[in-house]
Amino acid sequence: MIDNQTYGPWAVIAGGSEGVGASFAHQLADAGINLLLIARKPGPLAETADAVRAKGVTVRTLELDLLDPGAVKAIREATDDVEVGLLIFNAGANSYGHEFVTGELDRIQGVIDLNITAQLALTHHFGALMRERGRGGIVLVGSLAGYMGTADMSIYSAVKAFSRVFAEGLWLELREHGVHVLELVLGVTRTPAMERAGLDFSIPGLNVAEPEDVAREGLEQLPHGPVWIAGGNEAAAAKRSGMDRAELVSRAHAHHQRLMGR
């Protein structure tokens, strides 16, 4: 059970409307932690908010694109009157997969701004308040993609690598102040975003995790950062970290092509 004395009374979930974010919301509500849920899609956001509100916690919502210039200001205004003990940054799906040099630079910049700039802004704001109070937690949801470059998603892989290394440094900085930091690394997870991307979950041998399971792992491992590889993917992460980069990257690319039916 999540410790609501350490991580409450409020949690902010960026990307909290569906998939892993919604699973976080349900599990935190079960622990009696109030929630601010942030997402772009109004339908899933309202549905998840109503479901967790029925568990007896207070739920606020922001229908918001984190790329909007006023996004951080709006989030601060929505939380300035409460104590946020937990930040979960689950936004940042690979919404623009494209070969880099033929891609649109503004769309590529959007991947960077969402996964790095927005993440840093929210972590800076809430992390400073947690440090001052001497308690709290920060979960940055990462990806196995951050362990290896991938064709058509080189920028996404790069920003996820940034997130993991950033979490390690932040963990060192905040651990003496009672603030826990965890990079929760996901592999293939059965989420609406993955389904929309066209991933074939039925491929034999594919290790598919469920959102509620990886969310539970993240909350359980939060005190033990800085990195937790969810869904039994430790061996895959270790393999991707090997030194023969040309061979590893080429082999992984061929496997990815098969997954996407190409």
* Distance from C-alpha of 158 to C-alpha of 213, rounded to nearest angstrom: 26
Span 92-148, pLDDT tens digits = 776 677 889 999 999 999 999 999 999 999 999 999 999 999 999 999 999 999 999
Q: Look at residue 153 in the predicted model and tell me its pLDDT.
A: 87
Mean pLDDT of the chain: 91
More confident call, 63 vs 251 = 63
% of the chain at pLDDT higher than 70: 90
* Distance from C-alpha of 261 to C-alpha of 89, rounded to nearest angstrom: 30
- Give me the number of domains the chain comprises: 1
Under a CB-based contact definition with an 8 Å cutoff, are residues 18 and 42 in contact?
no
* Distance from C-alpha of 119 to C-alpha of 72, rounded to nearest angstrom: 10
Residue 158 has pLDDT above 90, yes or no: yes
Please state the pTM of the whole predicted model.
Answer: 0.91
Beta bridge partners of 73: none
pLDDT band per the 50, 70, 90 thresholds, residue 198: low
Under a CB-based contact definition with an 8 Å cutoff, are residues 83 and 55 in contact?
no
Under a CB-based contact definition with an 8 Å cutoff, are residues 11 and 87 in contact?
yes
More confident call, 58 vs 96 = 58
Q: Which domain holds residue 226?
A: 4-259
CATH number at residue 206: 3.40.50.720
Residue 195 has pLDDT above 80, yes or no: no
Under a CB-based contact definition with an 8 Å cutoff, are residues 180 and 137 in contact?
yes
74 burial via Cβ count (<10 Å: 0-12, 13-18, 19+): middle
